[in-house]
Amino acid sequence: MAEAEESPGDPGTASPRPLVSLGSATKGTEGLSDISISQDIPVEGEITIPMRSRIREFDSSTLNESVRNTIMRDLKAVGKKFMHVLYPRKSNTLLRDWDLWGPLILCVTLALMLQRDSADSEKDGGPQFAEVFVIVWFGAVTITLNSKLLGGNISFFQSLCVLGYCILPLTVAMLICRLVLLADPGPVNFMVRLFVVIVMFAWSIVASTAFLADSQPPNRRALAVYPVFLFYFVISWMILTFTPQ
């Protein structure tokens, strides 16, 4: 091929500088392998990081969140966990998004309702606030350690979360018993309270085992459920034997 002769004085007739160099024309199709990019071509472009990921990280951060929004978000999370306990089914919500706000609220509420109306409740044999608080949390910690020793694949705080939230049916039973005790005492009064406590006791057992059963080895589930049964039985007994005065 004959190249056009470049005239230095006439820019209009100057041909553009070739960008590629072809080899010998006699190589035929093999000449395509000799194509090379000219070094005079600038390599331009930008490497940008998508801003969506940064925006999502910024939005998910709670550092700039107001106190009101934080409290409302936590209350909604606690309410959703209460619904999971009231309608027990196999779910990992309590295990995945665990917290101790719900168990703390239920424990304090139950301890307050178990207080007697008399001013001096130490002499009448009634449970004190600290006693109820210690019994609930010490029992939950003991069951959690037993679960870990049996080879359960659940963390310490996840187990505390489940056991604490599953006190909700017994807290409802305590509220109903307080209302029933406003009526005249008698056999009917006791039978109503007994029925309510038994139903809520069974409800707590079913709800807790629905979340904790799969975290235990199949051949040791009975050993893991038995302390849970005793834990809720003690709380149920305290509710059933409670008298206002």
**Integer Cα distance of 240 and 51 in angstroms:** 60
- Measure the CA–CA gap between 58 and 36, rounded to whole angstroms: 46
**The pLDDT value given to residue 233:** 95
Residue 43: predicted pLDDT: 53
> Cα separation of 133 and 108, whole Å?
7
The type of residue at 29 is T
Q: What is the pTM of this model?
A: 0.67
Quick one: pLDDT at residue 194? 94
Closest of 143, 149, 151, 157 to residue 209, by C-alpha? 143
**What is residue 100's predicted lDDT score, i.e. its pLDDT?**
85
**pLDDT attached to residue 75:** 85
Distances, alpha carbon 33 to alpha carbons 17, 18, 29, 187, in Å? 20, 17, 8, 102
144, 159 Cβ separation under 8 angstroms: yes
Residues of the chain with pLDDT under 50: 1-9, 11-12, 14, 18-29, 31-33, 35, 53-55, 57-59, 121
pLDDT at 71 (0 to 100): 83
Q: What's the confidence (pLDDT) of residue 175?
A: 94
C-beta separation of 151 from 216 below 8 A: yes
Tell me, what's the pLDDT at 90? 63
Helix axis angle for 67-86 and 101-113, nearest 10°, is 70
Q: What pLDDT is stored for residue 213 in this prediction?
A: 73
Give the pLDDT of residue 57: 47
Q: Which pair of tokens denotes residue 95?
A: 């295990």
Q: What share of the chain is helix, strand, coil (3-state, %, to 5)?
A: 65, 0, 35
The token duo for 120 is 């001096």
Q: How far apart are CA 142 and CA 227, in angstroms?
A: 9
For 136, residues 6+ apart whose C-beta sits below 8 A from its C-beta are: 107, 110, 111, 164, 167, 235
Q: Rounded to whole angstroms, how far apart are CA atoms 48 and 50?
A: 6
Enter the DSSP assignment of 14: P
